[in-house]
């Protein structure tokens, strides 16, 4: 069965911010080696690898959302979805993985998202720079 939807969104602001931190800490470490700074540098490097992209796939009756190389991922059977809505996140919801009061938000950039209402009553939002296309793929049988 072919993939009905696949899109990778790049978090340019996340990459730039973490990259700037890595550059500053790299310079500090080169100038005066410090183990605490090296540890923070390593954490930032791991964070940029893990959270630089968000790939969303709808295939074989499953929605899969994964950050970066896929260590952090979530899979939801389409049969577990009661409703799909295109939404706009408030700016203060931010990026990454967040609890936003009514459910979880996974977002790498921007304010556009698709909110899923699951059959168990929980909600899950997927950030996307093309939320209409994602919502359409989720609604297709």
36 and 69 assigned to the same domain: no
Query: What is the residue whose two structure tokens read 């190389």?
Result: 69
- Residue 4 forms part of a structural domain: no
Residues 60 and 115 in one domain: yes
Q: Are residues 28 and 82 in the same domain?
A: no
- pTM given for the model: 0.89
Domain limits for position 35: 9-50
Nearest-5° angle of CA 2, CA 83, CA 92?
Answer: 100
Span 98-106, average pLDDT: 93
| C-alpha to C-alpha distance for 11 and 123, rounded to whole angstroms | 23
Residue 134 has pLDDT above 90, yes or no: yes
Contact 76, 56 (CB under 8 A): no
Same domain, 78 and 108: yes
Q: How far apart are CA 124 and CA 11, in angstroms?
A: 20
Checking if the pLDDT of 93 tops 80, the result is yes
User: How far is it, in rounded angstroms, from Cα 3 to Cα 59?
Assistant: 5
pLDDT at 2: 61
Residue 29 and residue 84 share a domain: no
Q: Residue 141 above 80 pLDDT?
A: no
Residues 105 and 36 occupy one common structural domain? no
As for how many domains the chain has, the answer is: 2
Position 132 scores a pLDDT of 97
């Amino acid at each position: 069965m072919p993939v009905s939807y696949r899109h990778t969104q790049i978090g340019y602001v996340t990459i730039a911010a973490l990259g700037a931190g890595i550059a500053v800490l790299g310079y500090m470490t080169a100038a005066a080696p410090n183990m605490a700074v090296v540890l923070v540098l390593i954490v930032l490097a791991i964070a940029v690898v893990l959270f630089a992209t968000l790939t969303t796939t709808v295939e074989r009756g499953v929605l899969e959302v994964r950050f970066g190389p896929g260590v952090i991922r979530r899979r939801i059977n389409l049969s577990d979805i009661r409703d799909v809505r295109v939404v706009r996140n408030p700016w203060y919801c931010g990026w990454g993985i967040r609890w936003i009061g009514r459910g979880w938000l996974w977002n790498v950039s921007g304010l556009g998202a698709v909110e899923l209402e699951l059959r168990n009553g929980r909600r899950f939002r997927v950030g996307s720079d093309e939320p209409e296309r994602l919502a359409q793929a989720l609604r297709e049988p």
